Amino acid sequence: MSSGFPDRRMRRLRRTEVWRKMVAETRLAPEDFVYPMFAVEGSGVRNDVKSMPGVQQLSVDCLVDAAGAVHAAGVPSVILFGIPSEKDAHGSHGYDPEGIVPTAIRALKEQIPTLNVWADVCLCEYTEHGHCGLLTSEGEVDNDTTLPLLAKAARVYAEAGADAVAPSDMMDGRVRAIRDELDGANLGHVPIVSYAAKYASAFYGPFRDAAESTPAFGDRRGYQMDPPNAREALAEVALDIEEGADMVMVKPAGPYLDIIRAVREMVSVPVSAYQVSGEFSMIHAAAQNGWLDLRRAALESLIGIRRAGADLILTYFAKEAAEWLKEG
């Protein structure tokens, strides 16, 4: 050819918006999102989370209203985190049938019955020390004594009407303990969405403001995954599926797209990914400084997570993104 390159011109199918949409290899829809929400005790409470623009701690009455707006935007699911008025060494409010999360679940299922409600299962929001399990006398997190409490919390949430329970603690064996507990309580229909590959990440900072769950000492690197490790993530995922997980999750999402892809290629169960608070807040901060276009950057980050292989995305952008997608 005299022109020096092949007849195929890749730009032909990019020229117009119609063509770009028609040949898109990855699609994003409101049904892909799960919206995280923070429930607190009281009435009429709407506490802004300063490090997360637009995110609030909500009392149950306000949470129901906010969840209704999220659902009306087309987002089918929310995941609940609870902030109790009191904490103790055993995280007892985390498995109290009258605790903040079961109370919120019952209200949501009563008033928005078509909303899919997930419950995060962990003790970090409920323990006075902020760790995800009970402590030994030496101050180490005690894996095995924590398992029955996680299982009890999952059962309490399922009995309140949760459509899924999502253990995020990273204790070894917790999926099996929860599966046995649910099955034994005639709640075998409730799926387990396991935070199977949850990394000890610096990107969780703003979440700890929202959930008031910063550890009082040390950190969580002894039980959450070390960021350099990929093969270990696949082992964690395989173990959780063997124990009975119905869906697995990678957390965070953006810095771990390679892990999402590797998990997607390895397993047949659905894969979710959590676009965490730090990812959300960074995009907002850059947009506030005029460095990024908020809408374009947020949607691009989400399509990247989907392209990597996530079937569902937990994201604080869920409502906004759903509305943006409807606008076209």
Q: Are strands 46-48 and 56-59 parallel, antiparallel or unpaired?
A: antiparallel
- Residue ranges for the known binding site for Mg(2+) are 236
- Residue ranges for the known binding site for Zn(2+) are 122, 124, 132
- The beta strand positions in 135-270, using DSSP E, are 164-167, 193-198, 247-251
Contact (CB, 8 A) for 132 and 169: yes
Q: Is 21 a catalytic residue?
A: no
**What's the CA gap between 128 and 313, in Å, rounded?**
30
Helix (H, G, I), strand (E, B) or coil at 84: coil
- The beta strand positions in 215-308, using DSSP E, are 247-251, 271-275
Q: Which helix or strand (DSSP H or E) is residue 319 part of?
A: helix 318-327
Q: Which of 87, 198, 319, 326 is catalytic?
A: 198
Q: Which helix or strand (DSSP H or E) is residue 284 part of?
A: helix 277-288
- Residue ranges for the known binding site are 122, 124, 132, 208, 220, 236, 277, 316
Q: Which of 87, 251, 319, 326 is catalytic?
A: 251
Burial (0-12, 13-18, 19+ Cβ within 10 Å), 185: middle
Q: Report the alpha-carbon angle 278-252-168, nearest 5.
A: 110
- Residue ranges for the known binding site for 5-aminolevulinate are 208, 220, 277, 316
Q: Which residues are tagged catalytic? A: 198, 251
